[in-house]
A and B are shown apart, each in its own frame.
Chain A
Amino acid sequence: MRCYSRQLATFFVASSIAGIALFASALAEEPDSAAIKAHLKALDSGPKSIDVAKYPDEQKAGYKLFTKKCSKCHTIARPINSDFVLPGQWERYIKRMMFKPNSQMSDADGKRIFRFLVYDATVRKRELLKKALLGMTAEERAEAIEKIKSINPAFTAP
């Protein structure tokens, strides 16, 4: 009986702690977190793979590495359905992922994944890429096109 009372008491203490924690946490919610979560959920629920059958061998290998490394912490659908298309966007995003603790992504891995994603944008997201390039200054556009062409020489600039 004494033991039962002690268990009950400790349970109530634990419940109170958890209750206080949840209450305090709810007060700290950021207003834009719901919008970000909804956006990420939309990306995550899109296609989960890319048909790379017609891609060059280098990009096929890049795709394999991309699916292995970039599905460790988030869904692979997230980068596949992302609206990132420009080399600068991918460079910044991949560097950020490489810096994540325990990313296990080397510089060489990062470069291969970068080349794949830039190539993939020229194939799957061609119209979006052209639109994004047109929104840049002439100098920025020339620099971006040069990077893209170094990976996919067949790309036709807008």
Chain B
Amino acid sequence: MKDHPSHPVAVSSTVRWFALLMVSSAIWLLPGQARSVPAYARRYDTKCETCHSPIPPRLNQTGEVFRRWGFRLPDADENGKLTMKTVPAHGIGEAASISAEFSGHYDQYVSPGESKSSLEMGEVVVVAGTSIGEHLSTQAIFVPRNGEGGVELENAQLQYNRGVPSHQFSLRAGLIEPFLWMKGTHGTLTPTGTLAFSESPLIPVGDFPGFALGMNQVEMEAGYTFTRLRKGKMWTTMLSAAVLNGVDETGDKAARNTTDGMDVFLQAVQLFGARNSFGGFYYKGRTVIDPLSLLAPPGPFRDHFSRYGVMGNYALFDRVDLVAALADGKDRSDELNGNVVSRGAYGQVDVTIMNRWIADYRRDYLDPNRSVSDDLIRAHVLGTTYQAEDNLFFTAEYQEAEQAGAKSHGFTGTIRLVY
């Protein structure tokens, strides 16, 4: 049975313009979450390709397991039995990588006072991570300059792993990137994040700005990773359950929970073949809007929301990858006295033109309120990335977004240096 809000939300031209502006701006506001960290390759004396396919930052199966094992590399002994290779960092050069972006943009929709064309210094990010002894590991991602010029601590986590390589139990806590699946939603091959899995809320519900799936959060997560290795072929199952602080009334991540209890996030991901995957997730959250009664009546009220979805990718050929995901959402708002049901999805095809050069096309779709007819946002994204050296990436991307017949266009070119 379909849920409907008690009173339909009218979509004004201002709201529509704002939504398109957000989609268009997403080009540089939503960098991918998976990151290439050359320090890890230096430490393990291996190449980027060991963990990234077709090119960084997308993780292949080895990279996903490396991450879940607390920066320990899956390996094999002389008999082909799965082993865990641990090389701790012996200096800052083996633990930390820095990346810096320089980009040029053309955007049809801009805020008043901003230029349609611009050259910008993008994100500067420092990523450091290492295993500590047999069971512990840590990671910190510090952003001295984010896309908006601010300082940000994006990730600071401590992880405990226990078990044999084929059965690993993990417990991690801190400010965490919660998603296990690092294929398409986080770490797309181009800078634009997908709409449905973005870091910024795109589904406002009354006065609640909304909840974004890609948001890093303070949380504690228990996980289990099963890995089987036969003649170089891995099969990995990743399960996790987390409690999170969730979001505050502004839709931003809650540094500590002061509103309405903890959120819950359940995930299951299956990895197979060299770089294929499928999985699902369920997020249950809640927050109190207007806790200080600063807005007009009704005063403090609750928004209970859930997000659930499926995702996967499949290498159709050696040079062609398909990626797709679907996420549904339901917000039960006291303010609107009803439910708002949303849906987002995307499909993407990546083609490896030649070694270290890929092109991709993505079709995005986001319906913020399924009971409203003219708020559907669609986007085409066409991009290409060339990895000139291990440390240098060139990306060009075009995005066209459309809502209720109104279109926006954006183009971006980015040079990224990662060391």
Co-complex (A, B):
yes
Seen from chain A, the residues whose Cβ lies within 8 Å of a Cβ on chain B are 6-7, 10-11, 13-15, 17-18, 20-22, 24-26, 28-29, 37, 40, 71-75, 92, 95-96, 98-105, 107
- Could you show 23 A-B contacts with beta carbons less than 8 Å apart? A6-B255, A7-B152, A7-B153, A10-B153, A10-B156, A10-B175, A13-B156, A15-B140, A17-B156, A18-B128, A20-B138, A21-B130, A21-B138, A22-B91, A22-B92, A24-B133, A73-B50, A92-B78, A95-B80, A99-B78, A99-B231, A102-B274, A103-B232
Q: How far is the CA of A21 from the CA of B158 in the complex (A)?
A: 10
Question: In the assembled complex, which residues on chain B have CB atoms less than 8 Å from the CB atom of A26?
Answer: 90-91
Q: How far is the CA of A150 from the CA of B102 in the complex (A)?
A: 57
Question: In the assembled complex, which residues on chain B have CB atoms less than 8 Å from the CB atom of A105?
Answer: 232
Q: How far is the CA of A37 from the CA of B61 in the complex (A)?
A: 26
Secondary structure type dominating chain B contacts: mixed
Question: In the assembled complex, which residues on chain B have CB atoms less than 8 Å from the CB atom of A22?
Answer: 89-92, 95, 130
A101 touches which of B130, B175, B232 (Cβ 8 Å) = B232
Q: Are A101 and B49 closer than 8 Å at their CB atoms?
A: no
Q: How far is the CA of A75 from the CA of B46 in the complex (A)?
A: 8
Interface assignment of B88: CB less than 8 Å from any CB of chain A: yes
Interface assignment of B234: CB less than 8 Å from any CB of chain A: yes
Using known A-B contacts A21-B138, A72-B49, determine if residue A104 contacts B274 with beta carbons closer than 8 Å: yes
B65 touches which of A7, A101, A104 (Cβ 8 Å) = A101
Question: In the assembled complex, which residues on chain B have CB atoms less than 8 Å from the CB atom of A74?
Answer: 45-47
Of the four ranges (under 10, 10 to 19, 20 to 34, 35 or more), the interface on chain B belongs to 35 or more
Interface assignment of B414: CB less than 8 Å from any CB of chain A: no
Using known A-B contacts A14-B140, A18-B140, A100-B76, determine if residue A25 contacts B232 with beta carbons closer than 8 Å: no
B89 touches which of A17, A21, A71 (Cβ 8 Å) = A21
Q: How far is the CA of A75 from the CA of B390 in the complex (A)?
A: 12
Q: Are B89 and A25 closer than 8 Å at their CB atoms?
A: yes
Q: Are B153 and A101 closer than 8 Å at their CB atoms?
A: no
User: Nearest-CB distance from B165 to chain A (Å)?
Assistant: 10
Q: Are B140 and A100 closer than 8 Å at their CB atoms?
A: no
Question: Quick one: closest B residue to A11, CB to CB?
Answer: B153
User: Nearest-CB distance from A24 to chain B (Å)?
Assistant: 5
Interface assignment of B74: CB less than 8 Å from any CB of chain A: yes
Most buried by B among A92, A96, A101: A101
User: Nearest-CB distance from B78 to chain A (Å)?
Assistant: 6
Question: In the assembled complex, which residues on chain A have CB atoms less than 8 Å from the CB atom of B62?
Answer: 101-102
Question: In the assembled complex, which residues on chain B have CB atoms less than 8 Å from the CB atom of A28?
Answer: 88, 133
User: Nearest-CB distance from B410 to chain A (Å)?
Assistant: 30
Most buried by A among B61, B89, B92, B158: B89
Q: How far is the CA of A20 from the CA of B140 in the complex (A)?
A: 12
Interface assignment of B121: CB less than 8 Å from any CB of chain A: no
Using known A-B contacts A21-B132, A25-B90, A101-B229, determine if residue A14 contacts B156 with beta carbons closer than 8 Å: yes
Question: In the assembled complex, which residues on chain B have CB atoms less than 8 Å from the CB atom of A15?
Answer: 140
Using known A-B contacts A22-B92, A73-B47, A102-B60, determine if residue A17 contacts B158 with beta carbons closer than 8 Å: yes
Q: Are A18 and B95 closer than 8 Å at their CB atoms?
A: yes
User: Nearest-CB distance from B259 to chain A (Å)?
Assistant: 17
Q: How far is the CA of A102 from the CA of B158 in the complex (A)?
A: 27
Question: In the assembled complex, which residues on chain A have CB atoms less than 8 Å from the CB atom of B79?
Answer: 99
A98 touches which of B82, B92, B231, B274 (Cβ 8 Å) = B231
Question: Quick one: closest A residue to B73, CB to CB?
Answer: A101
Having A20-B138, A101-B75, A104-B274, one finds 19 other A-B pairs with CB under 8 Å, namely A7-B151, A13-B156, A18-B138, A21-B130, A21-B132, A22-B90, A22-B130, A25-B90, A25-B132, A26-B90, A28-B88, A37-B45, A75-B47, A95-B80, A99-B231, A100-B75, A101-B82, A102-B232, A105-B232
CB within 8 Å of A: which of B75-121?
75-80, 82, 88-92, 95-96
Question: In the assembled complex, which residues on chain B have CB atoms less than 8 Å from the CB atom of A6?
Answer: 255
User: Nearest-CB distance from B83 to chain A (Å)?
Assistant: 10
